[in-house]
Amino acid sequence: MRDCLFCKIVKKEIKADIVYEDDEIIGFNDINPQAPVHILVVPKKHIEDLTKIEKDDVRVMGRIMEVIKDIAKEKHLESGFRVVVNTKESAGQSVFHLHFHILSQRRFHWPPG
Ligand code: AMP
Ligand code: ZN
């Protein structure tokens, strides 16, 4: 995906503050943090949003959950964190490459805004 911002981060064409990386997944600090800890966990494969996941992607989705767990441990988020996946523009998605927000170290409200 030539014009996709997160594909460019995956290919290191755009710099990011990377906190986790393996063959399939990358994690980096959000450029406009909405909490003291705000990390994005992203499959390297270009998937537009949650509605575009295919059968072959299910394993890596599970691995993303494991990576989120590991980041939470490494960053000492045991007091709590929120995982958000904005899906489609009306839900707040602005980058159309699937990503999981990890937000932590402040109080969160429910229902979310
Ligand atoms: P969403 O609105 O759910 O699609 O989330 C996109 C997120 O990407 C936002 O929280 C942005 O602040 C973040 N973002 C945009 N550009 C960059 C970038 N170059 N590096 C890191 N995060 C970014
Ligand atoms: Zn992409």
The pLDDT mean for the chain works out to 97
**Ligand 1-lining residues (CB < 6 angstroms):** 5, 14, 16, 28, 30-32, 40, 86, 92-95
- Which residue's CA is the nearest one to ligand 1's atom 1? 93
CATH no. for 5-104: 3.30.428.10
Domain ranges of the chain: 5-104
> pTM score, two decimals?
0.98
In this structure, is the dihedral angle defined by the CA atoms of residues 45, 83, 89 and 58, taken in order, positive or negative? positive
**Position 2 pLDDT exceeds 80:** no
- Proximal ligand: closest to the CA of 9: 1
> Which atom from ligand 1 is nearest to the alpha carbon of 86?
3
pLDDT at residue 1 greater than cutoff 80 = no
Of the chain, the percentage scoring pLDDT greater than 90 comes to 97
